[in-house]
Amino acid sequence: MDSWLIVMMLGGSIFLGGLALLAFLWAVKNGQFDDEEKFLNAVKYDGEDELNDAVNLERKKEKLKRGYRPE
């Protein structure tokens, strides 16, 4: 058995596993596991309106930020 095969398999699997771990860490840090019920329920209220609201909120935030600190 060639060593490069082992290197490739080990490297590949650790890399993929590492990606999954990073995704998990990101999710924990982001607070996605803080309130399990809400995130499950959020699926029920997902739609075009909600998307629009989220965008509007984002814009409002930007506007307020700019208004607060004129640069």
Task: Tell me the site size for another protein, rule CB under 8 A.
Answer: 30
Q: How far apart are CA 3 and CA 23, in angstroms?
A: 30
Least distance between another protein and beta carbon 64 (Å) = 5
**Contacts (CB under 8 A) with another protein, residues 26-55:** 28-29, 34-38, 41, 44-45, 53
In DSSP notation, 38-62 reads HHHHHGGG-SHHHHHHHHHHHHHHH
Residue 3 CA: distances (Å) to CA of 6, 16, 38 = 5, 20, 49
Q: Which residues of this chain interact with another protein, rule CB under 8 A?
A: 3, 6-7, 10-11, 13-14, 17, 21, 24-25, 28-29, 34-38, 41, 44-45, 53, 57, 60-61, 64-65, 67-69
